Chain A
């Protein structure tokens, strides 16, 4: 809908005219006077002069008009008004200039002025909406922060090194969600098939995500950042990544801060709907399956039930769901109300649903120094859904105060049915009957994450020089993995032969080899920010602020094993486990039956024991994080060209984890806590080499603190991996100190063209890495693996217009960005509750040395028909997924290239059609363990398939 909206605005550009307001004529007189004074005093100076001024938005209570274009007629020199409506041209040779002021939906104005040497001419202009546009009730400034040009300007003006991508570019590049969005920014890559984002090659634990400047919780136990795939582009105004630190950010800052600005609407009203459909080339034609008990919309109906009742009442077999056709639909609407006192209330609501079918055929191996489990053939069916709804209320009370209330709901589900060892050739070295073939596992897993975000945001322009911004937010997350089912068989090859007298049997080394698992996480977070900006003079601006966040997580899980009593039981139909795991076959009386349920923590043993009874929770933990900080920074314009922004933040950090987890020494206190105060200085410098070229420098000290999942000592058992936390991370040192240095040169060649090159260096003290612990179980855990890690890198970005049309809009343009970096860390052994053996130098976990993004945009005009074609490419090089300890090699995530094609065209003023082909190259997604005695051993490999989709949008 957002795309359509922009196009409508563009079309209104065709009816522009000239209009000079009365205001302007008054202004003219003053300028002439000024001009006269200047000419008398400086007539012989041969210095260059300048023109500056302010643009006023008549349609919006005479507020400053940002992001309007100002062009010197007959030249390519142009600029854009900033957020305060200000613009300037410097270094102009004396002479007469015609300035063209334009803004989408507004009358274009031409003003003639004369510059004399050494003088500064002030030209203030009030912009008024074009009459044609006024008839269409969509004249707003909504596009401001969505357009690429505006965001490029934002980047140019920004104090820190910051890059953004707006709704317009998202739509143009066919990006569906925030994860795709950030991946278009230089130095950013996305892990294929997940929402994991890497900034300059640094992964999840080194990033923060905020929504409108307020922290956002993660939806996933294994992540710190929310899955950006959950933010459909319909609810994004823009996404920005700040790669350098300023004191307004939380001190836990390493590679970058991702801020999503939620979409807001200030216009007079609109309503539109969209619907689409698509396929995945590998999923199409498959007879698709998903979990029993879950719905089409990605909900699970048994959350309130005791898991024991669930497992006795319901079977484990997946259900058929028919043809895998992806569907999406949604609607959005906006409306504004004006009050007599000048207040304006704007509403924006949007809701959408989409689903996706993916089929992954591949192989999977658990290899350490030997092949523990080998599945030469695996099949995974994944059905996922995303439901989003957002309501946004903007209330502009008066010229002083504006309020915004933002409420966001996201429900995201993934329903995976995995079959491992489908060709009967699976191996398990610990198999009992046959270690050479026939090991097979089925894993049926449903995950649902529900996120609720509520934010109240206010801005007050108390005086001309004092501006107050504040926001408070409350976030709630429910992350559930209800009723995961895992089955393990031996001699599966007998299910594939046609001999009814040979059949597979259950693998029952321990009662949990066949199991059902329930996991539940609930997060609550309050957070707030307040900033007071005080402009003392043009040269000096002060910011004072406060941030606070208080976050709590509750985690719990329980497993029920199927202890097979009839160990030789012949499984005649591997697609009908329901005929086995039902109440009739429960071995209630001694060993009369096929199986018993088994729980780890019995309610009251031996009377209410582990078998055939409900049980107590197996693991639980509660995490608490409290951060309060005050900060200040000074924007100090030492000269026209030099801006320095020193800042400091003092942050109080308190973290505690309480856990009740199986399999710990009984004298472990069951909690860890830490409290520290950070003193974090930062310095950002911007030197304007020329009007359109900046040189930037930035240095800061930041920290990195452990996450709940890294500290909670419970172990999550995947099909071929075990990962657990380590509470000792909260022992001294309980955080990593980070020193950051950045330099960058940027050249804004034209309004939509950019060249930049930058270098960066970081030192991370006491870094945390995921390594295989020294324990008898081979579990991966988090350790502080060394004294320090260092990172050195360069990044390059180029956006170039290749062919422009007569309106100077790009017809063919290309963008390219790349990051290359070198990382190094000295690894050391550590001990405590868990220990690890490391003694070498290696690269940093999660860092890709090379990241490349490129895109080509072609938007020809055939009369009124304006299709847009985009080709988008991204690449990341091999990176360490987990460090090998001792004799073990590292686990490497192999490089991936992704190519997407997006076609879009407006058919008429109501209807728009778009087509996309994503993941055209369909590369294999591979993880390997390197440097083994077998060379590089493939741990997993599959292809995701190409996604083809067609979408229709209709605006009323």
Chain B
């Protein structure tokens, strides 16, 4: 047990070798942090490694130990079935370790409140960004392309988008993803759950992203409806949408940790390649019962950033502990965020601000009043996380 004192501790010794003309020191790493060579202190049972592209169905067995040790891609036509109660480890090797459900493939993962499905890092001291996360790709409309064209995902370079709003990528129920979100670079980021063009034939309810390096849940277009989202300690945005996402989110709970960006960051379209939809449309989800808890108004953070012409209907909202409630960015051209407010396509109905310094910052170029955007200030009650988040979620202290 003495060794455990050194757990996570190692020492750099720098020998300044004066002989070398370039002044670069030899680096000797004395690493005392490795106390055993097992698979991170598990029960010792042999792990079954999962990676590569599966061209046939893959069904996990709750009696086995699994470790995702690379990119696990389910090809079109296949189904990944995951039983309730299983914990699948992912190699703590960064963004190249992820699970992707391609267009035309399905995930069948039905956990329960008592037996959730958990994906986590295999590191003995796990940390955010240890691995990538879960990626679903569907054939529902996105506005970065038009018609039957597809776009390519940030991670894995897989196609997504199409014309089938009712596309079905399977079932996810009671699933927690921990320590995910490793990024390849500033533009290619994993999240906890990434929904790329996922259609509303898919069932997604009771999901939690915990201690993610990047966004908690991100929607790249699509129509998927999600009920009961919990995002705790996401280091980037907790809920993010772009590329014309138009599903409904019902009951979402967001809580910021020390490192964080926005509670919600929303774009009407992908500004890197433009809004190429025809007829033109912008992101316009409906969010019912949303609670965002920040670190207090003194922390200088903002709860919701609405950009690039996004639209959306927020019903029953609580924002607590932010310097800014809403920050609206846009212009009078391709990013008509302000115009959405004026046309009632971007509206908040029933909201309670607690410890929020500035409710709305308008950088859209359009002029509107607070009541043009918000009705029912003080009426929001948010979501009942204590009830629906009980048992299967963690980290809400």
B34 adjacent to A607 (CB under 8 Å):
yes
Q: Please indicate the chain B residues that have their CB under 8 angstroms from the CB of A934 in the complex.
A: 331, 333
A275 at the interface (CB under 8 A from B): no
Contact of A933 among B71, B186, B259, B332 (CB under 8 A): B332
B186 adjacent to A606 (CB under 8 Å):
no
Min CB–CB distance B241 → chain A (angstroms): 12
Beyond A369-B334, A609-B123, whether A886 also contacts B184 by CB under 8 A is no
Beyond A774-B151, A837-B146, A887-B334, whether A589 also contacts B186 by CB under 8 A is no
A606 adjacent to B8 (CB under 8 Å):
no
Main secondary structure of the interface of B (DSSP, over half): loop
B261 adjacent to A432 (CB under 8 Å):
yes
Contact of A293 among B22, B271, B363 (CB under 8 A): B22
B156 at the interface (CB under 8 A from A): yes
Instruction: Type the 1/0 row for A594-637, where 1 means its CB is closer than 8 Å to any CB of B.
Output: 00000011100111111011100000000000000000000000
Contact of A509 among B261, B269, B329, B334 (CB under 8 A): B261
Min CB–CB distance A670 → chain B (angstroms): 13
B152 adjacent to A775 (CB under 8 Å):
yes
A302 at the interface (CB under 8 A from B): yes
B331 adjacent to A429 (CB under 8 Å):
no
Question: Which of A308-316, A375-383, A692-700, A870-878 sits within the interface?
Answer: A308-316
Instruction: Type the 1/0 row for A507-532, where 1 means its CB is closer than 8 Å to any CB of B.
Output: 00111110000000000000000000
A310 adjacent to B261 (CB under 8 Å):
no
Beyond A715-B185, A934-B331, whether A665 also contacts B156 by CB under 8 A is yes
B157 adjacent to A588 (CB under 8 Å):
no
Which parts of A293-327 form the interface with B (CB within 8 Å)?
A: 293, 301-302, 305-306, 308-310, 312-314
CA distance A829 to B51 in the complex (A): 32
Min CB–CB distance B79 → chain A (angstroms): 17
Instruction: Type the 1/0 row for B340-384, where 1 means its CB is closer than 8 Å to any CB of A.
Output: 000000000000000000000001000000000000000000000
Question: Which of A49-57, A398-406, A756-764, A776-784 sits within the interface?
Answer: A776-784
A510 adjacent to B334 (CB under 8 Å):
no
CA distance A885 to B53 in the complex (A): 31
Q: Please indicate the chain B residues that have their CB under 8 angstroms from the CB of A614 in the complex.
A: 27
Contact of A662 among B27, B96, B125, B145 (CB under 8 A): B96
CA distance A512 to B144 in the complex (A): 26
Min CB–CB distance A364 → chain B (angstroms): 16
CA distance A722 to B144 in the complex (A): 18
Contact of B150 among A312, A663, A835 (CB under 8 A): A835
Contact of B183 among A429, A510, A715, A779 (CB under 8 A): A510
A435 adjacent to B157 (CB under 8 Å):
no
CA distance A662 to B276 in the complex (A): 28
B122 adjacent to A606 (CB under 8 Å):
yes
Min CB–CB distance A602 → chain B (angstroms): 5
A775 adjacent to B334 (CB under 8 Å):
no
CA distance A776 to B156 in the complex (A): 11
Q: Please indicate the chain B residues that have their CB under 8 angstroms from the CB of A137 in the complex.
A: none
Q: Please indicate the chain B residues that have their CB under 8 angstroms from the CB of A368 in the complex.
A: 271-274
Instruction: Type the 1/0 row for B6-25, where 1 means its CB is closer than 8 Å to any CB of A.
Output: 00111110100000011111
A539 at the interface (CB under 8 A from B): no
Contact of B186 among A509, A774, A834 (CB under 8 A): A509
A433 adjacent to B273 (CB under 8 Å):
no
Which parts of B20-72 form the interface with A (CB within 8 Å)?
A: 21-27, 29, 31, 34, 37, 40, 51-53, 70-71
Q: How large is the interface on A (under 10, 10 to 19, 20 to 34, 35 or more residues)?
A: 35 or more
Q: Please indicate the chain B residues that have their CB under 8 angstroms from the CB of A372 in the complex.
A: 271-272
Q: How large is the interface on B (under 10, 10 to 19, 20 to 34, 35 or more residues)?
A: 35 or more
Contact of A667 among B25, B53, B184 (CB under 8 A): B53
A567 at the interface (CB under 8 A from B): yes
A510 adjacent to B189 (CB under 8 Å):
yes
Min CB–CB distance A488 → chain B (angstroms): 9
Q: Looking across the interface, which residue of chain A has its beta carbon closest to that of B75?
A: A667
Q: Looking across the interface, which residue of chain A has its beta carbon closest to that of B272?
A: A778
CA distance A372 to B12 in the complex (A): 40
B153 at the interface (CB under 8 A from A): yes
Q: Looking across the interface, which residue of chain A has its beta carbon closest to that of B126?
A: A606
B124 at the interface (CB under 8 A from A): yes
B94 adjacent to A602 (CB under 8 Å):
yes
- State the total of A-B contacts with C-beta under 8 angstroms: 233
CA distance A513 to B327 in the complex (A): 24
Beyond A372-B271, A835-B149, whether A313 also contacts B93 by CB under 8 A is no
Min CB–CB distance A326 → chain B (angstroms): 27
B276 adjacent to A370 (CB under 8 Å):
no
Instruction: Type the 1/0 row for A883-899, where 1 means its CB is closer than 8 Å to any CB of B.
Output: 00111100000000000
A590 at the interface (CB under 8 A from B): yes
A92 at the interface (CB under 8 A from B): no
Instruction: Type the 1/0 row for B173-215, where 1 means its CB is closer than 8 Å to any CB of A.
Output: 0000000001111111100000010000000000000000110
A831 at the interface (CB under 8 A from B): yes
Q: Looking across the interface, which residue of chain B has its beta carbon closest to that of A935?
A: B333
B252 at the interface (CB under 8 A from A): no
Q: Please indicate the chain A residues that have their CB under 8 angstroms from the CB of B151 in the complex.
A: 774-776, 835
Which parts of A403-455 form the interface with B (CB within 8 Å)?
A: 429, 432-433, 435-436
B25 adjacent to A605 (CB under 8 Å):
no
A837 adjacent to B145 (CB under 8 Å):
yes
Min CB–CB distance A311 → chain B (angstroms): 10
Beyond A567-B259, A778-B273, whether A313 also contacts B14 by CB under 8 A is yes
Contact of B276 among A612, A776, A831, A837 (CB under 8 A): A837
Contact of A774 among B27, B145, B236, B329 (CB under 8 A): B145
Q: Please indicate the chain A residues that have their CB under 8 angstroms from the CB of B31 in the complex.
A: 608
- Counting chain B CB atoms within 10 Å of each CB, the highest count among A509, A613, A829 belongs to A509
B93 adjacent to A309 (CB under 8 Å):
no
Contact of A776 among B51, B152, B334 (CB under 8 A): B152
B292 at the interface (CB under 8 A from A): no
Q: Please indicate the chain A residues that have their CB under 8 angstroms from the CB of B187 in the complex.
A: 722, 776-779
B24 adjacent to A302 (CB under 8 Å):
yes
CA distance A590 to B8 in the complex (A): 7
B149 adjacent to A774 (CB under 8 Å):
yes
- Counting chain A CB atoms within 10 Å of each CB, the highest count among B71, B121, B185 belongs to B185
Contact of A932 among B155, B156, B332, B334 (CB under 8 A): B334
CA distance A310 to B20 in the complex (A): 12
Min CB–CB distance B56 → chain A (angstroms): 13
Q: Please indicate the chain B residues that have their CB under 8 angstroms from the CB of A464 in the complex.
A: none
Q: Looking across the interface, which residue of chain A has its beta carbon closest to that of B189?
A: A510
B183 adjacent to A511 (CB under 8 Å):
yes
A803 at the interface (CB under 8 A from B): no
B150 adjacent to A588 (CB under 8 Å):
no
Q: Please indicate the chain B residues that have their CB under 8 angstroms from the CB of A314 in the complex.
A: 23-24
Contact of A834 among B34, B152, B332 (CB under 8 A): B152
CA distance A729 to B261 in the complex (A): 39
A776 adjacent to B184 (CB under 8 Å):
no
CA distance A509 to B261 in the complex (A): 8
B273 adjacent to A833 (CB under 8 Å):
no
Beyond A606-B92, A774-B149, A835-B149, whether A666 also contacts B70 by CB under 8 A is yes
CA distance A610 to B126 in the complex (A): 12
Given A429-B329, A601-B96, A835-B145, list of 4 further CB < 8 A pairs? A583-B12, A775-B154, A776-B188, A778-B272
Chain A to chain B: the 8 pairs with minimum beta-carbon distance, closest first: A933-B333, A778-B272, A887-B274, A777-B187, A667-B53, A775-B152, A605-B93, A886-B276
Seen from chain A, the residues whose Cβ lies within 8 Å of a Cβ on chain B are 293, 301-302, 305-306, 308-310, 312-314, 368-370, 372, 429, 432-433, 435-436, 509-513, 567, 583, 586, 588-590, 600-602, 605-610, 612-614, 662-668, 713, 715, 717, 722, 772-779, 829, 831, 833-835, 837, 885-888, 932-934
List 10 A–B pairs whose Cβ atoms lie within 8 Å, in order of A's numbering.
A312-B27, A435-B329, A513-B186, A605-B91, A605-B94, A606-B122, A607-B34, A664-B156, A665-B156, A933-B335
Seen from chain B, the residues whose Cβ lies within 8 Å of a Cβ on chain A are 8-12, 14, 21-27, 29, 31, 34, 37, 40, 51-53, 70-71, 73, 75, 91-96, 121-125, 129-130, 144-146, 149-159, 182-189, 196, 213-214, 220, 236, 243, 258-259, 261, 269-276, 300, 305, 307-308, 327, 329, 331-335, 363
